[in-house]
Structure 1
């Protein structure tokens, strides 16, 4: 079926307005569709799921919003491209860290850690070991400078400890060190032996620290989707470029035609070759898809009848290996709801997906009951499966060992009248919601320029939402930030 006919337009009479198919209903696809729609382009958005949001998934099963996917705004400042939208909607943020938090979404000012026997770890020890860990990471910079060939962060840490045995920790302090490594792995959604030493600290982090979205990300998704022509349950199987047009085949046999397409599906889906391209994507694009890493992080959310834990932001378990460490986010402190969210990353997240939801919830409860022996069973629980969900096949991108430095540009680069968005194409802000959002706006801008030049219509200008940088600095509607 032709996109133009699909929208009630006679294909025999070619309209002056360009048509675009946006593939993927996450925040990147919605940002692209919103921008083009507001400029009166003919736009249709195709989403394979039964819902919009992609890896943003605010669940209301508990009677309150719980983000089972993205939940933080990384960079609580007016320079964040999402700030105007958050302010206009009156959404609240709960700040969990300040400006100096490169590796964590928490400053660890509000936490309680336990060992595997359920005994509290002295807070002085946690602070001291944290300072040692920072010193170790600082010394890995010298290791990086000494080696032209990339290596993993894990290997670099081993080299530092061999050179500086005084930094080694023993006993309980060693387990606390493993917990810090666990938290680092959660930031990248990958194990330390997979993370590039060359790239791990090169991300451009916006000022303002990190803020938890108190009402979840769902209000932003709903706002961006207003008046957009959305087709849910439309799984794209093939994208063809023919005669300056794009033909998009849907799983049920339908085909749509437009002047261009913007592809914003997750990198994991592209890696799995779930969408065919005709002609095939060039080798440089295939290499970018293949070599950029995709990590995994899952959440097990637990709803209780009452709060039985201390009023801290994090509850953690230290262990002899980072794989065995864990932590709970206390949503009650940020939102007032009696919910704990256990988060698992890397191989541990992959392994949890091999079992049933009931097994995962029981496993998490065993960890919790080590901390609080009288902990009651949860009223309800939720479990994410980002690694095996065929619509995501991973959580977000990261830099694996040996990755070439130009892959993000290659992944982002257009191919004919195909344009690419998503968090993975955001070189400076990959893995973030605002990075995904900005990439969608950029893809829309590039698509606009391409189509207007090809169609010879230079009088039209795409009025991209929030394109005016001055609007980002407008102090009339400040971000609503709390720190209880």
Structure 2
């Protein structure tokens, strides 16, 4: 009988949740970020609401039909405000994206409600009658680089070591006069310790789960002072067996949504807003801008007049991370189907180290692997064939050479998506929570902003994006 590996306890240090990065290896997957965007290539088959596309004027234009745009439009429309929602994609949801091309719903972007207690997405799930299933972080298993199962004592040693390291880093967080990369702080602590190569490697695995797979960024791009400035809801994390799109579809009902309309230029002033798009010009008294931080950083949309310096500086200081997924669908289950989490302490840290078993959620033979941070960007440089070969090499180390090839797969490349340029925001060195506030701040009572990168309390979350959309609508 295999021992259950407590993933949450191993990847997070109790409730204080901090760790280090040692950056021991840079294997076959290189770590340079992408240099050129590529359009969405995966199938999109989410049914869309039918809307009247005759008018080009409304009291409020909402730019972007992700969760924040849907929340803003829904709130305004329910108050009797006329709203047109413009979306560049041929689907709603933005970074919430449920794909069904493999014959079952699989979320390519957001997957979880993080903390169900008091979470507004929990309330929406109940309102729309959407099924959720709890993720049991205690139900996992960890394998070493040779496929051997690691014992409880092995990972307990690493956890204890991290608790001792954290105390010193937390003190530096309080005592330093100047911000620095979180990596630098941990390097200073670790440099004073006599650790073996094996201990360093296991620490590096721990860090990968804590940062790159949780925040989409490595510690060398996180602020020592501010990386953990956000808040959390309590309770379990849950997934949607039939897809997160059910939340987007519920919010979208009855809204005037124009799909395939790409915004290129926004002119605003005392007379209102004119929005130039790939489908002509739309006009409104006000507009809610919900573009992802990555799009704002690329200056892909022009503002006339330019955005205030305070807002542009916040855009420049905050950064966008990435978390990519690889789904593999098999003809049969060859793994331990009772374990939800499968972790692999491979020779190359960060490559194929974190897997989710979907049998407990949808009773289908599907595995999904995460790559985050630098490794998340790096995997985007590889071909589909190379990615699948890397995944299968790891699975054969654990489960043997006789396992079958996948009969289908899905691969995300959020860093190359020209309508996202990443997965979600984080606070790099010398940025702060105040930058989220600055990004939310309206401009001239005409332009309003929403999205996860405008939520100081809950950045990088669906609930943060949703609440920001409501807040922008309430400001209007």
| Contact 2:229–2:433 (8 Å) recurs in 1 | no
Deviation of 1:325 (Å)? 5.8
| Contact 1:91–1:214 (8 Å) recurs in 2 | no
2:440 aligns with: 412
* SS of corresponding position for 1:387: helix
Distance 2:188 2:330 in 1: 45
* SS of corresponding position for 1:259: strand
2:249 aligns with: 222
Deviation of 1:179 (Å)? 1.4
The match for 2:135 among 81, 92, 96 is: 96
Could you tell me the TM-score, scaled by structure 1's length?
0.83
- The answer as to 2:108 corresponding to 1:68 is yes
Distance 1:211 1:159 in 2: 37
2:468 aligns with: 439
Deviations 1:431-461 (A, max 9, x none): 00000000000011112xxxxxxxxxxxxxx
1:364 aligns with: 391
The match for 1:183 among 187, 190, 209 is: 209
1:283 aligns with: 309
1:245 aligns with: 272
| Contact 2:181–2:221 (8 Å) recurs in 1 | yes
1:141 aligns with: 170
| Contact 2:53–2:258 (8 Å) recurs in 1 | no
Distance 1:145 1:39 in 2: 46
Distance 1:393 1:441 in 2: 24
- Number of corresponding residues: 421
* SS of corresponding position for 1:86: helix
The match for 1:270 among 290, 296, 299 is: 296
| Contact 1:182–1:325 (8 Å) recurs in 2 | no
- The answer as to 2:115 corresponding to 1:86 is no
| Contact 1:328–1:343 (8 Å) recurs in 2 | yes
2:405 aligns with: 377
Deviation of 1:162 (Å)? 3.2
Distance 1:153 1:205 in 2: 21
Deviations 1:45-84 (A, max 9, x none): 111111100000011122221111000111111x112222
| Contact 1:178–1:318 (8 Å) recurs in 2 | no
The 3 A distance-change label for structure 1 pair 325 and 144 is farther
The match for 1:161 among 177, 184, 190 is: 190
Deviation of 1:6 (Å)? 6.5
Distance 2:457 2:69 in 1: 19
Unpaired segments ≥5 residues, structure 2: 1-51
Deviation of 1:133 (Å)? 2.0
Deviations 1:358-409 (A, max 9, x none): 2222221211111112221111000011000101101000010111442111
Distance 2:196 2:470 in 1: 47
Deviation of 1:138 (Å)? 3.3
Query: Larger Cα Rg: Structure 1 or Structure 2?
Result: 1
**1:26-37 correspondence runs (5 A):** 26-37=66-77
1:387 aligns with: 415
The 3 A distance-change label for structure 1 pair 405 and 40 is closer
1:428 aligns with: 457
1:305 aligns with: 331
Distance 1:320 1:133 in 2: 21
| Contact 1:179–1:325 (8 Å) recurs in 2 | no
Deviation of 1:8 (Å)? 4.9
- The answer as to 2:80 corresponding to 1:53 is no
* SS of corresponding position for 1:442: helix
Deviations 1:140-199 (A, max 9, x none): 111222311112222222222234x26x4542x433322111101211101121111112
Unpaired segments ≥5 residues, structure 1: 12-17, 98-105, 448-484
Distance 1:138 1:54 in 2: 39
Deviations 1:23-45 (A, max 9, x none): 00100000101111111211011
The 3 A distance-change label for structure 1 pair 133 and 212 is farther
Q: Give RMSD over aligned pairs.
A: 1.9
Deviation of 1:413 (Å)? 0.2
The 3 A distance-change label for structure 1 pair 43 and 400 is same
Distance 1:7 1:19 in 2: 15
The 3 A distance-change label for structure 1 pair 155 and 142 is same
Could you tell me the TM-score, scaled by structure 2's length?
0.85
| Contact 1:153–1:195 (8 Å) recurs in 2 | yes
- The answer as to 2:121 corresponding to 1:126 is no
